[in-house]
Structure 1
Amino acid sequence: MNSRRIMAAFPAAAEDQVTLANWRQHPYSEWAFRNVRELLPTANIARSREPSPLSFAPRYLDDVSFADLRGETIDVSKALRSSHTDGIVVSHRGQIVFEWYAHDLTPDTPHLIFSVSKSIAGTLGGILADNGKLDPDAPVTRYIPEMEGSVYGGACTVRHLLDMSVGIRFDEDYMARDGDVINYRRSTGWEPPDPSLPPTNLRDYLRTLRPNGTPHGHTFHYVSTNTDVLGWVYERACGISYAKILSHYIWQPMGAEHDAYIAVDSRGAARVAGGICASLRDLARFGEMMRNHGVSNSRQVVPSWWIDDIRHNGNAEAWARGDLTKVFPNGNYRSKWYTIDRSETPFAAVGIHGQWIYVDPVDETVIARVSSQPLPMDLDLDHMWMRGYRAIATRLSGKS
């Protein structure tokens, strides 16, 4: 199919129409991931009135080489064009040194970032904790009493939500045609409604989830619903909507240049786990803030102790017992951020279909990349780009 024809006519022909049934399928996703607002209800995340200024120092990085999927040499230029990348921004020492866009994405266009949204939520938790609004060690039911009787009742704490260590019965299989992920997506409005089933919504669905018999804190078990519950906790702690919390505590203080937005369900519940759409430059600002120990726009936006905790803590044993060791064999997870390798310093926010914020404090490099990869999880592409990120950072550091 010619992706240029998708949604190009008014109205589009049936075969070129993006719908809830096909919007996450390639090539429809090239259009959908930058036009989520035309498919789903959303809530606005207001930008700063005084955006942090960007500094540009262009570098030629097209020829930076690394190993491709087959172990052969590929360069950045070819990798971008062959991996369904929609855009990339590279910054070094706070200056944008490389910027590239495709598939009609522009510097001003928000792009769906899927689970990079989780890392933003995890970062927000540190700000709320530092402000005395959130106790990470408190039980979830302190904030949401309605969760008693679900997996999130009893001994489940906010920290278990942050670190994906809830002992929950849930199979996060993105390729499944029925079961947990489909039911979850249907509750958020991300799937076409099933006329044979009664209507549902996200918060009601979250209360139906049950334990798997594993003690909370024992095992890293990646389940998106944990982050949606976390967002609900934040709303109860602050008394305002998640979109307004995020704008007030991060997007505006960080100096975001563009409004972002987040998908919401039929009752306004935010898809905290994967529904944020943001511009690449603002994602780069966010990554740069993390590299600079929480400072952005000359302000301490995120407490430095929280970023230290993200980088140096986490439960390596729980990670080793978990379900993503194929992605990061020697990795870790803390407050929704991945440590790629515990023996190295880079850490990352990662979303399905190829969304990344890669932060390398030693080489002073931040890489924000958004994509419309056909597979939700493509380990070969992820590992190729991890080699690419390292190669870019190494070039910029002058080590080679």
Structure 2
Amino acid sequence: MFKHFLKPARVSAVFLLSCLAASIACASEKTSYPDAAASDPAKMGWMVGAPPPPDRIVRFADGSYFQFPAMRWSVSNFRQLMPTTNVSRGLGAPVPLARALRTDIDGLTFVPLGSKQPMTWEQSLAANYTDGIVVLHRGKIIYERYFGVLNPEGQHGAMSMTKSVVGTMGAMLVADGTLDANKKIAEYVPELAKSAFGNATLRQVLDMTTGLKYSEDYADPNAEVWKHAQAGNPLPKPKDYTGPQSYMEYLQTVEPEGEHGEAFAYKTVNTDVLGWVIARATGRNVAQLLSEKIWQRIGAEQSAYFTVDSIGTPFAGGGLNTGLRDMARFGEMIRNNGQYLGQQIVPKAVVDDIRGGGDKAAFAKAGYDLLKGASYRDMWWVTHNADGAFMARGVYGQRTYIDPKAEMVIVRYASNPIASNSANDPVTIPAFEALAKQLISHPD
């Protein structure tokens, strides 16, 4: 993926930040990659053997874990590569998801955007380098597949779907009065008073309408993304390094550009700031709060985990890793207006706020051609389509798609060689919409 235009040293530094952007440099889209079958990490034998052959070893320090096709192994094994912190599921027994598998899904056909050639649902899985996918309908598993090295017992990087989870927790704290969406960030984190975030409101951070001098252009060696990445790298810094030593230190250096509140601009540092605000307001970091407020209450099968920086700060912008079914449980809870297993886990008002969406005009200024008419609210992507669908999105093809009208939740984990969702959206969007239509017309 980025190996075509990034130096190895920088590749190693970038990952904790690269699990972030929905809008990323797309130069690599012109590159030809091995297909899903040819790049299958199980068949390629990454990290198999005692020790593995030299050409099948994947390391964090040298950046090899971030290069395609080795990346297809890495996304299901981050805990083996870097420091992490746990999101405990608690000590109670998991609550199984009911199953009612359907046989009419693999053959479902649709036409990808910009194409005239029909594709089947099953073909779309390979086209998007799917590692695992589960579909819930009315709370029951109707479809579940795993590929490569991911299995039901495994965990996978959620990438920027993490933002929607953290955004939900932020919105919960607004709903219960712990946070005030109209207050300035500096009122919660005085250390950010002199940064671009100081005079931004919490609402502007939640909806990413902050005016920041921050480029995520990976092709530009001088882009701010590299400084953020270096600060968040958990490995020891070079002896001559004099920059920020952690995510929190870096956030204090972000400068303003433009006006807050005028336009949507997807920048991961907003979620890092939200994570800091949450920690300061509650005394618990995002991993601890996620465990307490949600993970211990949804009957999760597995504990989740976050990647962390050198001082143990969870990467709020993209560091969450979960089991596939557990992310589906989270999505189903949101679909059910925050209710799950007889509990009101997330206030209904929070889900209503998310589903209502954000400022469409502000979102339109960002130029997402395949998401026209959409908006962004509480770090969720809201389509405003006829079904009222909304979603969490992450680079390399991660998706949690909630369609209220179809009573459907889809969670897909993937390892697409191209980071930007613009590479998989032409297949993903019509595939998910076609399945929703099928479930509406043939619910049983």
User: What's the TM-score, normalizing by structure 1?
Assistant: 0.94
Cα distance in structure 1, aligned partners of 2:216 and 2:371? 18
Distance change in 2, residues 1:319/1:269 (3 Å): same
Conserved in 2, the CA contact under 8 Å of 1:126 and 1:303? no
Write out aligned runs for 1:13-162 (5 A).
13-20=53-60, 21-48=63-90, 49-60=92-103, 61-68=105-112, 70-153=115-198, 155-162=199-206
The 8 Å contact of residues 332 and 342 in structure 1, kept in 2 or not, is answered as no
The reply on whether 1:392 has 2:435 as its aligned counterpart is: yes
d(CA) in 1 for partners of 2:287 and 2:277? 13
Which one is further off, 88-97 or 247-256? 247-256
Give the drift of 1:178. Answer: 4.7
Show the 5 A alignment for 1:220-235: 220-235=264-279
Amino acid at match of 2:344: Q
Q: Report the count of equivalent residues.
A: 397
Q: CA deviation at 1:397?
A: 2.0
Shift of residue 236 of structure 1?
Answer: 0.6
2:144 counterpart SS class: strand
Question: Partner of 2:213: helix, strand, or coil?
Answer: coil
**Aligned with 1:56: secondary structure?**
coil
The aligned runs of 1:1-400 (5 Å cut-off) are 3=41, 4-20=44-60, 21-48=63-90, 49-60=92-103, 61-68=105-112, 70-153=115-198, 155-189=199-233, 196-198=240-242, 200-212=245-257, 214-323=258-367, 325-341=368-384, 344-398=387-441
Native 8 Å contact 1:231 1:242 kept in 2: yes
Deviation at 1:39, TM superposition (A): 1.3
Moved over 6 A (4+): none
Mark the CA change 1:176 to 1:12 in structure 2 (over 3 Å): closer, same or farther: farther
| Structure 1 position 25, deviation (Å) | 2.4
| Counterparts of 2:299 and 2:187, CA distance in 1 | 33
Larger mean CA deviation between 175-184 and 250-259 belongs to 175-184
- Alignment RMSD, CA only? 2.0
The answer as to whether partners of 1:112 and 1:278 remain within 8 angstroms in 2 is: yes
1:87-130 deviations in Å (ceiling 9; x for gaps): 00000011000000001211121100110000001111222223
Query: How far apart are residue 217 of structure 1 and its match?
Result: 1.0
Q: Matched residues in 2 for 1:102 and 1:288: separation? A: 23
C-alpha distance in 1 between matches for 2:380 and 2:428:
18
Residues 216, 223 of structure 2: 8 Å contact kept: no
Deviations 1:321-364 (A, max 9, x none): 225x2241111000000112455410000000000000000011
State the distance in 2 between where 1:258 and 1:34 align.
14
Structure 1 residues without counterparts, runs of 5 or longer: none
Is the 8 Å Cα contact of residues 182 and 191 (structure 1) preserved in structure 2? no
Separation in 1, partners of 2:222, 2:116: 36
Alpha-carbon shift at residue 252 of structure 1 (Å):
1.1
| CA-to-aligned-CA distance 1:122-177 (integer Å, 9 cap, x gap) | 11122222333222221111211000110011x21111110001110111234555
Aligned AA (2:437): T
Tell me the percent identity.
36
Residues 222-271 of structure 1 show CA distances to partners (whole Å, capped at 9, x for unaligned) of 10011011001000111122211110011112222210000110001110
Q: Give the SS at the match of 2:297.
A: helix
Give the TM-score normalised by structure 2. Answer: 0.85
After the TM superposition, which of the residue ranges 21-30 and 193-202 deviates more from structure 2?
193-202
Q: Give the Cα–Cα distance (whole angstroms) in 1 for the partners of residues 374 and 436 of structure 2.
A: 19
Question: How far does the alpha carbon of each residue in 1:45-65 deviate from its partner, in whole angstroms, 9 at most, with x for none?
Answer: 001424333100000111011
Post-superposition offset of 1:201: 1.4
AA aligned to 1:206 is L
Partners of 1:186 and 1:192 within 8 A in 2: no
Whole-angstrom CA distance in 1 between matches of 2:96 and 2:239: 50
- What is the deviation of 1:13? 3.4
